[in-house]
Amino acid sequence: MRHSHKPSARWRRRKEDRPAEIIAAALAGFAERGFAATRLEDVARRAGVTKGTLYLYFPNKEELFKAVVRRTIVASIAEAESLVAQSSDAAPVVLERLIAHWLGVIGTPASAIPKLVLSEAGNFPDLARFYLEEVVLRGTALIHKLLQIGVERGEFRAAPLEHAAICVIAPMILSMLWRHSFERHADHPLDAAALTRVHLDLLLHGLTDGTRAAPLRRRRDIKGQSHEHRRIGKS
């Protein structure tokens, strides 16, 4: 009688999980040491595989980094695109939800990626261009689209939307850069939710004509923080 050597379900599942495990290990390594200083052998060891196994899925460190960005930040942008496409609510309400969605990235290891890209863009221009195209331009295009919808509905005034889109994401980028640079030296962590709430409140009033400047309807949507008595930098 011949015995079957078909791999068990557990082994098949483990093999299918390997790319995600390698990506998670790479993200942790990049966040701790940066791109240049992260070695593939260290990533493999962290993921519990051999370096040869890692190469079966990712031919080099650059492709591994791109996979990390696509699994984390690009995936978040794709979710945000679905959020905007499926919503029939007023543009200011959708904008608030969009910001709340992206705030979730700040508390994850993926929040280290913007600082990593900015600090190493000069030495790795191909990665900088990749990040610009797949993250920065795609993200700002989504915000621009939402702002344009608001203008067409009469919910926003016709401001320079290309620059307004960048203004929308500015406090989130600042929060991520702060978290991975100044926070360890500061007395208190930067309250990204409070900073973003204040910025969004100012932005929405600036995008309206002054007579229709409606207050934000859900003060606890963004990270469940209370609107009152919050200061930037309060833990």
Residue 146, domain CATH: 1.10.357.10
From the list 15, 26, 5, the residue with the least C-alpha distance to 56 is 15
**Contact call for residues 120 and 34 (beta carbons, < 8 A):** yes
Give the chain's largest Cα–Cα span: 85
Q: How far apart are the first and last CA of the chain?
A: 68
- Number of domains, the chain: 2
In a domain, 1, yes or no: no
* Residue 4 forms part of a structural domain: no
169: which 2 tokens? 């994401």
Burial class (CB in 10 A: 0-12, 13-18, 19+), 10: exposed
Both 167 and 106 in one domain: the answer is yes
Phi, psi of 185 (to 5 degrees): -100, -10
Residue 26 inside a domain? The answer is yes
Same-domain pairing of 136 and 210? yes
Do 83 and 41 belong together in one domain? Answer: no
- 57 and 18 Cβ atoms separated by less than 8 Å: yes
Q: Does one domain contain both 126 and 44? A: no
Domain of residue 85: give its range.
Answer: 68-235
pLDDT by 10s per residue, the chain, length 235: 455 445 444 444 467 789 999 999 999 999 999 999 999 999 999 999 999 999 999 999 999 999 999 999 999 999 999 999 999 999 999 999 999 898 888 889 999 999 999 999 999 999 999 999 999 999 999 999 999 999 999 999 888 899 999 999 999 999 999 988 898 898 888 888 898 888 888 888 887 755 444 444 444 444 444 443 334 344 4
- Model pTM score: 0.79
Residue 33 lies in a domain: yes
Q: How far apart are CA 96 and CA 77, in angstroms?
A: 15
